[in-house]
Amino acid sequence: MRLSLCAAVAVLAVALAIPAADLGAQEKSADDTMVSLGAKTLAQPCPVWVIGSYDKAGRPNVMTASWAAICCSQPPMVTVSLRKATYTYGNIIESKAFTVNIPSERLAAAAAYFGAVSGRDVDKFAASGLTPVKSDLVNAPYVKEFPLVLECKLVKTEELGLHTMFIGEIVDVKAAASILDAKGMPDVTKLKPFLLAPGNADFYGVGASIGSVQELGESVKK
Identity at 5, one-letter amino acid code = L
Hey, is 4 helix, strand or coil?
A: coil
Nearer to a copy of itself, 28 or 56 (CB): 28
Q: How far is CA 54 from CA 37, 59, 106, 129, in A?
A: 39, 5, 25, 18
Nearer to a copy of itself, 43 or 58 (CB): 43
Q: Which residues have a Cβ under 8 Å from the Cβ of 197 and sit 6 or more positions away?
A: 44, 45, 46, 204
Q: Which of 151, 93, 89, 101 is nearest to 125 (CA)?
A: 101
Nearer to a copy of itself, 1 or 8 (CB): 1
Q: Least distance (Å) from a copy of itself to the CB of residue 26? A: 8
Q: Least distance (Å) from a copy of itself to the CB of residue 153? A: 10
Hey, is 16 helix, strand or coil?
A: helix
Nearer to a copy of itself, 58 or 211 (CB): 211
- Quote the CA–CA distance of 185 and 99 in Å, as a whole number: 19
Cα 26 from chain centroid (whole Å): 32
Q: Least distance (Å) from a copy of itself to the CB of residue 154? A: 13
Q: Helices 7-16 and 213-221, interaxial angle, to 10°?
A: 30
Nearer to a copy of itself, 95 or 204 (CB): 204
- Quote the CA–CA distance of 63 and 115 in Å, as a whole number: 5
- Quote the CA–CA distance of 146 and 134 in Å, as a whole number: 14
Q: Least distance (Å) from a copy of itself to the CB of residue 142? A: 9
Task: Tell me 180's DSSP state.
Answer: B
Nearer to a copy of itself, 83 or 95 (CB): 83
Q: Least distance (Å) from a copy of itself to the CB of residue 169? A: 8
Q: Least distance (Å) from a copy of itself to the CB of residue 95? A: 19
Q: Least distance (Å) from a copy of itself to the CB of residue 56? A: 20
Nearer to a copy of itself, 31 or 57 (CB): 31
